[in-house]
């Protein structure tokens, strides 16, 4: 996977990306990062890339020319996804990350000031992406967020011990809580079932925790999950009925022995 990032602050991108898991993937050649400084494509002697907004209003806007020339310098294959990070965009989520991870090259354009002249966005951008309903000072952090979540879906980027399976948002559920040693810390203990060695019981506990937490913290996600997991509720109802029947039999037996 190759990322090209058009930005006024290339070091912000490269310094974050060259550390930790993404840094290792760069060294291993699984990822490639190419940053381009938009300012290098300024046409005037002050190296300016922004100007006042037509129609008035506070703040400056990035001019279309330097952004376009920076993009053209990449010479990417026609059809390459070109992402503009902006609060006025489709909200990013795990399924969007999965969609982008299928590409082999993605271009990011990071805006600053009040944004970028609309004409160059209309001309070259394929995806306007927001990372949430709040406003940041620039598009670098959103680009890094998107690149990070896409990178970990690229085969080989996560090591064996860093498996992406079973994690939050898989199938709309949030991840269950996890624990490591020591089994007793301060006055808190690891849930007993996790020490039992009973894998089926552990799986069931984890699923129940995921459902409970999702329902409490993200009712919107819970509704999506519940709508596509009718079989879970049927199974649960069957189990409850079986247990009620067992209890009824136990009480009947008890009454019979008392009557003897
Ligand atoms: N630029 C500024 N704020 C942003 C946001 N929330 N998402 C994407 N790009 C942005």
80 in contact with ligand 1, CB cutoff 6 A: no
Percent of the chain with pLDDT over 70: 98
- The first and second tokens of residue 208, run together, are 């129940």
pLDDT value of residue 167: 65
pLDDT value of residue 163: 65
pLDDT value of residue 35: 98
Beta strands in 8-123 (DSSP E): 32-37, 50-52, 60-62, 81-91, 105-110
**Tens-digit pLDDT profile for residues 49-62:** 999 999 998 899 99
Q: Would the pLDDT of 30 be above 80? A: yes
Ligand 1 geometric centre to CA of 228 (Å): 32
Tell me the C-alpha distance between 157 and 160, whole Å. Answer: 10
The greatest distance separating any two alpha carbons of the chain, rounded to the nearest whole angstrom, comes to 106
Query: Are the C-beta atoms of 146 and 94 separated by less than 8 Å?
Result: no
Contacts 24+ apart (CB under 8 A), 65-70: 65/41, 65/120, 66/38, 66/39, 66/41, 66/42, 67/6, 67/38, 67/41, 67/109, 67/116, 67/117, 67/120, 68/120, 68/123, 68/124, 69/41, 70/6, 70/36, 70/37, 70/38, 70/40, 70/41
Residue ranges of domains in the chain, CATH in brackets: 2-151 (3.40.1280.10), 184-258 (no CATH)
pLDDT value of residue 113: 80
Identify which of 130, 133, 145 to mutate to test ligand 1's pocket (most ligand atoms within 8 A of the CB): 130
pLDDT value of residue 231: 95
**Tens-digit pLDDT profile for residues 93-102:** 999 999 999 9
Q: Which atom of ligand 1 is nearest to the CA of 133?
A: 6
DSSP 139-161: SHHHHHHHHHHHHTTSTTSS-GG
pLDDT value of residue 94: 95
139 in contact with ligand 1, CB cutoff 6 A: yes
107-137 CB burial, b ≥16 within 10 A, e <16: bbbbbbbebbbeebbeebbebbbbbeeeeee
Identify which of 142, 146, 149 to mutate to test ligand 1's pocket (most ligand atoms within 8 A of the CB): 142
Mean pLDDT estimate for the chain: 95
pLDDT value of residue 165: 57
φ, ψ at 58 (rounded to 5°) = -75, 155
Query: How confident is the model over 74-87, as a mean pLDDT?
Result: 98
Percent of the chain with pLDDT over 90: 91
**Tens-digit pLDDT profile for residues 112-167:** 988 999 999 999 999 999 999 999 999 999 999 999 999 999 999 998 777 665 56
Burial grade of 46 (CB within 10 A; 0-12, 13-18, 19 or more): exposed
**Tens-digit pLDDT profile for residues 196-240:** 999 999 999 999 999 999 999 999 999 999 999 999 999 999 999
């Amino acid at each position: 996977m190759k990322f090209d990032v058009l930005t006024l602050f290339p070091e912000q991108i490269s310094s974050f990306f060259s550390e930790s898991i993404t840094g290792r993937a760069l060294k291993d050649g699984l990822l490639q990062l190419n940053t381009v400084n938009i300012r290098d494509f300024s046409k005037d002697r002050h190296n300016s890339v922004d100007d006042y907004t037509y129609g008035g209003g506070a703040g400056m806007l990035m001019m279309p020319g330097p952004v376009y020339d920076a993009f053209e310098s990449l010479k990417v294959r026609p059809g390459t996804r070109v992402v503009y990070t902006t609060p006025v965009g489709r909200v990013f989520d795990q399924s969007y990350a999965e969609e982008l991870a299928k590409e082999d090259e993605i271009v990011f354009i990071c805006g600053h000031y009040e944004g970028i002249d609309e004409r160059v966005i209309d001309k070259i951008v394929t995806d306007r992406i927001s990372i949430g309903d709040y406003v940041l000072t620039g598009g670098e952090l959103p680009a890094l967020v998107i690149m990070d979540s896409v990178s970990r879906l690229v085969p080989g980027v996560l090591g064996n011990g860093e498996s992406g399976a079973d994690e939050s948002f898989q199938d709309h559920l949030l991840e269950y809580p996890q624990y490591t040693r020591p089994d007793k810390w301060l006055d808190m203990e690891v849930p007993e079932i996790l020490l039992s060695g009973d894998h089926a019981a552990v799986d069931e506990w984890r699923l129940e925790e995921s459902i409970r937490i999702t329902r409490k913290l993200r009712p919107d996600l819970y509704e999506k999950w519940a709508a596509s997991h009718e079989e879970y509720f049927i199974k649960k109802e069957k189990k409850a009925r079986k247990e009620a029947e067992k209890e009824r039999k136990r009480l009947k037996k008890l009454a019979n022995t008392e009557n003897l």
